[in-house]
Structure 1
Amino acid sequence: MTSWYSLGAGVLLATALTACGGDSSDNNPAAGGEQVKTPDSLRLSFLSRYESGSFDTSAAEIPAYDSASQRLFVVNARLGVLDVLDMSNPAKPALIASLGVEEVAAGAVVNSVAVKNGLVAIAIEADPKTDNGFAALYRADDLSLLGSVEVGAQPDMIIFTPDGSKVLTANEGEPSDDYQIDPDGSISIIDISNPQDPQVSTADFSAFDADTLRSSGVRIYGPGADVAKDLEPEYIAVSADGTTAWVTLQENNALAKVNIETATVTGILPLGEIDRSVEGFGIDASDDDQEINIQTWEGVVGLYLPDAIHAYRADGSTYLVTANEGDARAWGEDNDAYWGEEGEGCAGDASQGFVEEFRVKHLVHKSGFDRRCGDDLPPQLRELGAGALLDPAVFDYCGATAGDPGDCREDDVLGRLNITWTQGYKVDEAGNPVMYNDAGEADEAGTRIMYDTLYSYGGRSFSIRDENGNLVFDSGDAIEQFLASDECRLGTNRSIACQDYFNSGHDEINAMDSRSDAKGPEPEGLTIGAIGDKTFLFLALERMGGILVYDITDPQQPQRLDYLNSRNFWGGGGDGEDIEDLIDDGLLAESDVGAVVGDLGPEGLVFIAAADSPNGIPLLVVGNEVSGTTAVYQVEMLFDEE
């Protein structure tokens, strides 16, 4: 019979867990390091949390750790600063200071942070966000500014190369909310060999052609469809030798491959989609039935649209791990000029925004699009036609006929599923939509488009790919299946059945099944760590919450090891439907959300090796943007006692 035991702090000190470069906060773990005893498994246990006292304001997002000063640096987007926490006693993290960046640029705010060799690198967003941002370097011990340099618009993530000689920023270049300004996306490569005088080079997308990228499967689809403006770098992974970077282009469903030495984008790699008709890749598509109903769907695919990415080595090759979150492009949602005022018909101004998300039930209603005018009808969709149909050759299984969607648009079938209207409809050889009449017959004078594929958001999964973006492994529907299983438990003491709150949202209570129509559990953040001969993945679920732990040593056969969700309150306590209602009703103080409810909306993660850990035990630190808490977990190494 197999039994399991974990090593205590004294033994862990002797068998130190290490990450690349001797610093576990550089976002580049698992590239080598000291060989230690290899555990058979890992288990997380909740240790502590720092509470900002702010709810649903992104007061804790991205953490990074400096082992020499034993300080944790956490992006507080609510205040636009970096909270500096004393981690000398990880059971009681305490605020030392909040580091603002006004001395770099007036009105600027902190977006991201990385730490290596006593240097704190900060990605700084300008005011307005469409102006060029900055990267700045500070000393970790006394928080003094060493140097800064201008980079591209909206640097959203920053990372060191393994040797610490450079930092890279992903300059997302999001448009203004009214879409009147749309800066170019880019990647900045900054030489910091002299931190007082950082030197920047820019890798841009000027060499790429929109039509060529589209034909390869890259989504180039925003207003104007200019490649440099349409591509929005999100997150960066760097190879162990520091020569190559891979950057997620989330909304574009692609990766950019970058030569760091020459600051050149050498390729844009399309990621493809998940076929939701294949067993093992299904989804629960409705939030209306209040039931767990994971199944396959003919004609439905999932776009990966990954957020976080990390690189690691296995059997002499580099592999890339992505968290397939699935963000849609949505600008102008609160702009009446974009939608058009109620009573004005379909007079929305397409130049004032771009919203690609739409429910299936509204897309294929027999009455057409105009019933949604002034509400949620994107004017760009209305320009395509007066309504849409489902291809009966594909969707006959749910009752679609040539001119009627049948039961497909019912709430407990596909009706509630959020999809993008920008692709999936039939086009001619020139790429123009094929038009149909109300009866579903091809007709040049017709006013309807016809969808034979529905593109939903996110993989609800994590993927492992090779260095050229080829898929090696995808977890498919395994995460949703686990959350629906008897095995899955919630809370720091693992006493709550996941099934009772399957696909809940991060700010809701009594909300079982509420996220099934969108992106499900929504994997967003991840980090990895090497222990002995194994590599481990820590994957954060933004909506359902919690951290999944996998052994990814074999890229083709990852093994799930653990799941810990340190949210302890899921329902009851009032008539409200979300935590904000409890606060508004005086039933819960905003400052008590962390202590009472727990951790909500995990965003960024950092793995701290035992050799770097203040207590000699490997730690995982997670920034939770909704609860405003920074959670500290101990990583227990488990060994099979034969």
Structure 2
Amino acid sequence: MAVRLCAGALACAATFSLVSPAAAAAPEWFQRVGTMPVYLNSSPDEHTAAEIAAATPDGSTVVYTDSPAGRIGFASLRGGRLSPDGVLDMPGEPTSVDIVGGHALVAVNTSASYTEPSGLLVVVDLRTRAEVARHELGGQPDSIDIAPDGRRAAIAVENERDEDVADGALPQAPAGFLAVVDLVGAPRAWTVRRVGLTGIAEVAPSDPEPEYVSVNARNQAAVTLQENNHIVIVDLPTGRIVRHFSAGSVTVAGVDTEDDGVIDPLGTITAAREPDAIAWLDERYLGTADEGDYVGGSRTWTVFDSRDGAVVHSSGNELQRIAVNQGQYPDGRSDNKGVEPEGLAVAAFGRDRYAFVGMERANLVAVYDIADPRRPRFVQALPTGVGPEGLLPIPATRTLVVSAEEDSAEDGVRSSLSAYRLTRSPMSVAVAQNRAAPSIVSDGIGFGALSGLSAVPGNHRDVVAVTDSAYSPTRVLTVDTLAVPAKVRAELTVTRDGAPVGYDAEGIAARAGGGYWIAAEGDGKKRPNLLVEVAADGAVVREVALPAAVAATATGSGFEGVAVAGEHVWLAVQREWKADRPGEATLARYTPATGEWAFAAYPLDTAATGWVGLSELTAADDRTLLVLERDNQRGDTAAVKKVYRVDIGRLAPVRAGEPKPVVGKRLVRDLLPALTAGGAAAHDKPEGLALVGTGPVRRLVGAVDNDGLDDAPGESVFLRLGWFARF
């Protein structure tokens, strides 16, 4: 029996299309086109971070701060593609950067301690990549912004508090201030003025901690005093405080407030905004990203009228709803600050004006149309690397660049720059071709950590997915695969003895007569590997354990996939167990009618970095399994993300303790092109695979386990992998 995976629809069935190529022209939207890990500017072994970035006027060069390495980095930007272009050491910790003319202005923290803060403004000639001037700032700088006319720069000198002193309580001297740099003449001739900000905030008036600054065309600097929950507007030419006002507090309903593995947006919070980033939406209205720090964090972004400080718009629970609907809500932060809005940037792209709101913990950037700044209109949310810190719109190239700062080589998380281009091509087509996000959404059903997929017998449209231990209790999700993006449209909670139950569910197979088989992974110690039979209503019918002699050899890498082929249920063990030959994992076969177990060995691929294991099984027919095999690497080091065909028709699995026959395998699809389509960094955990439809030609789809955003980028990904034909 031959099985073939077709490269495209025309190769196997010209009569079916996921989306219509003749779809009407879509409104403009941002499409990811490239991701560059910043270690490419140095070494994979070095701890790096891209934090705040700026671009040259033509948009061809991006300059970013790399605080851990004490330097700035350069990246070339061509056609939306980013490539490394060198680094330049700084005399301390760079905290922010902006560009005027041919110079980069870098704010550098040189503080000896919290009580002895100091800093420099370092001026770099972008043509020669050399320092040409430095100016003492008299304190620890944070944010920098240059006036649109290029005549002045404003620097928020924070002089941040020591959080280990009195639990971080304010006040802690010395006080922060705003530095104004007059950019007159050659860089060495520039002068620095100080604007004091004490005595104005209701919270710790003697200890203002300026966090972020934004300058408008009228040379007015808006400054957030984050811990003081205050906003100040300063006239830069005179250094006079024009006005100031409290950022206030807000009550937000419909948010998740418990770190409990359940996405349950039924809570209410009241919190001070304590804004981080601030930006002028136009010459009158200001926007803030209300991250919180000292005691606050309202999970919102807010629009203020700068004339009197009145709130004209608050996002309420919208940012959380966006993250939930896109499968990127960080439940682990529910008891703290949720999605944690931190960054905010504003720019006009042609006739359209956009605000970009960065969610540090959700790894998302929400894009808003602010044609009317009092009524922002949500457009889309862009998945990013871990910890989006810097948001850099570049209208000259119709590009947004996002700096993601988290860098942990041992977790496979690398700091990166990602580029997104504004386009008018139909979004539905790009999503169907794995080139755009989101690829899977819901209408309020919380999801993520999609660890297994299964077709539904007799159903040409839906698959079911199962959530792993990142969430509890275990749920079976129904996903509409013909919707673009795919849509989570229903959920079913798994129960045992009438109560919700949580497994580390890593695989699911829908049964022809209704109900499911679930593969529950054990830990090799206290939690056994189980094959769980679940009724159509979600009730556990039985838990089937492995033979004791086999279970005793288990390690922490257990069951990872399950499939039904004829009268048998097949399970994949992720990696070698204690009794296995090196480089071989196990395929286990259970026969429900007899209760018998039998086993075969599966030869794993090898990879230069990390380990390789099995992630999923799906049955093509009673004689053929498709096996998803992957390494544990992300990004540029990812090498093995493959689907293999295994013929079980002639296979004779053996009982426990007997030498296991080794199956043959044949490659049918490399998933890396789909995982990296549209400029994405390769995800490490494709863990779902299903064949959808009936008849000889079916659609192959996949899903990525986002780990519930725990030490992971967190993007929920649904893959459309082409046509599978049997003939």
What TM-score do you get using the length of structure 1 for normalisation?
Answer: 0.57
2:317 is equivalent to residue 477 of structure 1:
yes
**What's the CA shift string for 1:310-360, capped at 9, x where partnerless?**
1132xxx521111111112xxxxxxxxxxxxxxxxxxxxxxxxxxxxxxxx
Residues 92 and 156 from structure 1, CA distance in 2 versus in 1: closer, same or farther, beyond 3 angstroms? closer
Alpha-carbon separation, structure 1, partners of 2:89 and 2:236:
29
What are the equivalent positions in structure 2 for 1:403-418 lying under 5 Å apart?
Answer: none
Q: For residue 420 of structure 2, what is the aligned residue in structure 1?
A: 634
The amino acid across from 2:32 in the alignment is S
| Contact preservation (8 Å) 2:49, 2:68 | yes
2:77 is equivalent to residue 87 of structure 1:
yes
Alignment size in residue pairs: 389
Pick one of 259, 262, 265 that aligns with 1:294: 265
Alpha-carbon separation, structure 1, partners of 2:315 and 2:258:
21
2:401 is equivalent to residue 621 of structure 1:
yes
Alpha-carbon separation, structure 2, partners of 1:533 and 1:148:
38
Pick one of 143, 168, 177 that aligns with 2:129: 143
Residues 137 and 81 from structure 1, CA distance in 2 versus in 1: closer, same or farther, beyond 3 angstroms? same
Q: For residue 128 of structure 1, what is the aligned residue in structure 2?
A: 112
Where 2:69 maps in the other structure, the secondary structure is coil
2:102 is equivalent to residue 118 of structure 1:
yes
Where 1:530 maps in the other structure, the secondary structure is strand
Alpha-carbon separation, structure 1, partners of 2:38 and 2:63:
14
Alpha-carbon separation, structure 1, partners of 2:266 and 2:321:
10
Where 1:481 maps in the other structure, the secondary structure is helix
Pick one of 36, 49, 59 that aligns with 2:36: 49
2:25 is equivalent to residue 5 of structure 1:
yes
The amino acid across from 2:281 in the alignment is Y
| Contact preservation (8 Å) 2:31, 2:423 | no
Residues 4 and 539 from structure 1, CA distance in 2 versus in 1: closer, same or farther, beyond 3 angstroms? farther
Where 1:196 maps in the other structure, the secondary structure is helix
Residues 484 and 155 from structure 1, CA distance in 2 versus in 1: closer, same or farther, beyond 3 angstroms? same
Pick one of 197, 203, 206 that aligns with 1:205: 197
Pick one of 306, 310, 313 that aligns with 2:275: 306
2:511 is equivalent to residue 521 of structure 1:
no
Q: For residue 247 of structure 1, what is the aligned residue in structure 2?
A: 223
How big is the shift at 1:517? 0.5
Residues 484 and 90 from structure 1, CA distance in 2 versus in 1: closer, same or farther, beyond 3 angstroms? closer
> Tell me, which stretches of 5 or more residues in structure 2 are unaligned?
1-19, 167-171, 408-413, 428-727
The amino acid across from 1:324 in the alignment is D
C-alpha RMSD over aligned residues: 2.6
**What's the CA shift string for 1:92-138, capped at 9, x where partnerless?**
41132x22233xxxxx2211100121110010111315333111222
What are the equivalent positions in structure 2 for 1:328-407 lying under 5 Å apart?
Answer: 328=294
Alpha-carbon separation, structure 2, partners of 1:42 and 1:88:
19
Q: For residue 234 of structure 1, what is the aligned residue in structure 2?
A: 211
Alpha-carbon separation, structure 1, partners of 2:141 and 2:278:
16
2:301 is equivalent to residue 462 of structure 1:
yes
How big is the shift at 1:166? 1.1
Alpha-carbon separation, structure 2, partners of 1:557 and 1:536:
12
Where 1:463 maps in the other structure, the secondary structure is strand
Residues 266 and 147 from structure 1, CA distance in 2 versus in 1: closer, same or farther, beyond 3 angstroms? same
| Contact preservation (8 Å) 2:270, 2:298 | no
| Contact preservation (8 Å) 1:461, 1:523 | yes
The amino acid across from 2:195 in the alignment is A
Residues 145 and 68 from structure 1, CA distance in 2 versus in 1: closer, same or farther, beyond 3 angstroms? farther
Where 1:189 maps in the other structure, the secondary structure is strand
**What's the CA shift string for 1:240-296, capped at 9, x where partnerless?**
222x111011111110111211113333310111123xxxx43211112x2222225
How big is the shift at 1:88? 4.2
2:307 is equivalent to residue 320 of structure 1:
no
Q: For residue 175 of structure 1, what is the aligned residue in structure 2?
A: 161
How big is the shift at 1:69? 8.3
> Tell me, which stretches of 5 or more residues in structure 1 are unaligned?
7-39, 103-107, 221-226, 329-419, 421-456, 489-497, 505-512, 567-598
Where 1:480 maps in the other structure, the secondary structure is helix
| Contact preservation (8 Å) 2:109, 2:119 | yes
How big is the shift at 1:4? 4.4
How big is the shift at 1:538? 1.6
Alpha-carbon separation, structure 1, partners of 2:423 and 2:47:
35
How big is the shift at 1:83? 1.0
2:65 is equivalent to residue 100 of structure 1:
no
Q: For residue 66 of structure 1, what is the aligned residue in structure 2?
A: 56
How big is the shift at 1:639? 8.2
Alpha-carbon separation, structure 2, partners of 1:623 and 1:321:
20
* 150-159 vs 260-269, which moves further: 260-269
Q: For residue 552 of structure 1, what is the aligned residue in structure 2?
A: 370
Q: For residue 378 of structure 1, what is the aligned residue in structure 2?
A: none
How big is the shift at 1:541? 1.0
Residues 146 and 462 from structure 1, CA distance in 2 versus in 1: closer, same or farther, beyond 3 angstroms? same
**What's the CA shift string for 1:46-92, capped at 9, x where partnerless?**
32323326799661111111145832111111112101223346424
| Contact preservation (8 Å) 1:204, 1:264 | no
| Contact preservation (8 Å) 2:322, 2:381 | no
| Contact preservation (8 Å) 1:171, 1:186 | yes
Residues 54 and 622 from structure 1, CA distance in 2 versus in 1: closer, same or farther, beyond 3 angstroms? farther
| Contact preservation (8 Å) 2:247, 2:275 | no
Residues 197 and 470 from structure 1, CA distance in 2 versus in 1: closer, same or farther, beyond 3 angstroms? same
Where 2:25 maps in the other structure, the secondary structure is strand
Q: For residue 399 of structure 1, what is the aligned residue in structure 2?
A: none
How big is the shift at 1:547? 1.5
Greater relative CO (CA pairs within 8 A, separation 6+): 1
Q: Percent identity?
A: 27
Pick one of 339, 342, 354 that aligns with 1:536: 354
The amino acid across from 2:99 in the alignment is V
Residues 86 and 532 from structure 1, CA distance in 2 versus in 1: closer, same or farther, beyond 3 angstroms? closer
Alpha-carbon separation, structure 2, partners of 1:90 and 1:478:
29
Residues 91 and 310 from structure 1, CA distance in 2 versus in 1: closer, same or farther, beyond 3 angstroms? same
Q: For residue 412 of structure 1, what is the aligned residue in structure 2?
A: none
